[in-house]
Homo-oligomer: A and B are copies of this chain.
Amino acid sequence: MGRVRISDVAAAAGVSTSTVSLVLNDRDVRIPHETRERVRRAAAEVGYSPNTVARGLRMQRTRTIGLISDTIATTPFAGRMLAGAQDAAREHGYLVFLVDTESDPQVEQDAIRALTGQQVDAMIYAAMWHRVVDVPKGLPAGTVFLDCRPATGDFSAVVPDDREGGVSAVRELVAAGHRRIAYLDVDEPEPPVASALRHEGYLAVLAEAGIEPDPALHVRGETSAAGGRQTTERLLDLPADRRPTAIFCFNDRMAAGVYVAAHRRGLEIPRDLSVVGYDDQQLVAGELDPPLTTIALPHYEMGRWATEVALGVRAHEAPRSTRLMPCPIVRRDSVSSPPAAATNSSRRRA
C-alpha cells in the first residue's frame, strides 16, 4: 500500500527527506555516488513509491489528463479511441481520468468541474461521431477536441478526413474499371458531416475520371443493414444501362444490406457488383462473405494525436488547428472489375 513515506526512506538511509527527494529525482546536486546508492537501496528495501497527490500539490502538475466522452458504451469505436489516448498518455507517464457523459449537459458540467478540481494537466473532449459540437462552459483553454470540431473558439481538434476517405473508396472502384458508381448515403434529418464530405470526395473522383455524375446513383437510406438492402433494391431496379456496377456505402452495416439485396437477385459479389464500405467494423466487414473492402476510421490514431497535442509533445504541430486524419483503405475481396456486359454498355454509351 501507499503506507511508506519519503521520511521512512530517509530514516532507513540515515539522511534527510531532502536528500532522498534529490536522489530519487536525479537532481543535479552534488551528492556522492555512495550516498545516492544508499538512498536508492533504502527506497527499494522499504518499498517506497511516491505519493503523487502530495507531489501534484507541490509541483502544480499532476501528470493526469481528463478525457470527457459523450458515450463509450454504444459504439464499437470508443475502445480504439480510448486505447490510442491511453497509450499516448502512458508513454509520457500520464494517467487518464475517463468520464462518460452520455451527452447529458449537467453531467458534462460536473465532469468539467471535477476534472479541473483534480488539476488535470490537459483535457480532451471526445465525440464518437465526427460532428460539430457546442463548446461547454468551463472547458479549459488548451482542451483538444477529438472526433469533433468546436462550433466556436480557438481549439485544436482532430477529425477523420472523410473527404479523402470518399476519394480513396471511389478511386478504388474507378481503378477497377467501374464508371457507374452509386453512393449509398445516409438518410437523416441532420446528416452527419461525414455524409457530405464523402460525397464531395465521390464527386471529385468522378470528375477527375471524366465521369458525369448521375443523380439517380446518389441514393439515401437508413443506416442499417435493412436500410442498405432496401435502397440497393431500388438501385437494382434501374434499367440495365443505368444500373450501377459498384456501390460505395456510407458504412459497413449498409454494405451488409447491399450483400443481401444482391444475393436475393442472384448477383454475386464482386463478380456482378462491387462494394466498398466505410468504418471497417470488424464484426461486419470481416465477417461478410466475401470480406468487405472498406475505409477504416482512424480512431486509434486520432486518440493518440489528441493526447499528444494536449500534452504538448507535438510542438511542431500548428497550434489550435484542425487535423484531418487519413482514413486508409482496407482492401478485401468485394471489388473487382465490372461485368463484361456493363463494360460494353458503358463503352457503347461512350
Contact = CB atoms under 8 A, between A and B. Distances in A.
B113 A49 contact: yes
Contacts of A110: 90
A281 B96 CA distance: 28
A134 B253 CA distance: 39
Copies of the polypeptide in the assembly: 2
A287 B259 CA distance: 12
A107 B79 contact: no
Interface stretch (A69-77, A307-315, A329-337): A69-77
A300 B73 contact: yes
Given A86-B99, A98-B98, A118-B53, A76 B1 contact: no
Contacts of A167: none
For this complex, into which size category does the number of interface residues on chain A fall?
35 or more
B117 A90 contact: no
Contact of A72 (B82, B100, B224, B289): B82
Nearest to A72: B79
Contacts of A127: none
Contacts of A283: 76, 253, 281, 283-284
A49 B76 CA distance: 35
B49 A53 contact: no
Given A73-B83, A95-B97, A281-B283, 13 more contacts: A2-B117, A51-B117, A53-B62, A71-B83, A72-B79, A72-B82, A82-B100, A90-B110, A95-B118, A96-B98, A97-B98, A260-B289, A284-B287
Interface of A: 1-2, 49-54, 56-57, 62, 64, 71-76, 78-80, 82-83, 86-87, 90, 95-100, 107, 110, 113-119, 140-141, 224-226, 253, 256, 260, 281, 283-284, 287, 289, 300
28 contacts: A1-B140, A1-B141, A2-B116, A50-B117, A51-B57, A52-B119, A53-B57, A53-B118, A64-B97, A73-B79, A73-B300, A76-B79, A76-B283, A82-B98, A86-B98, A86-B99, A87-B100, A90-B99, A90-B107, A96-B97, A97-B97, A97-B98, A225-B287, A225-B289, A226-B289, A253-B287, A283-B284, A284-B287
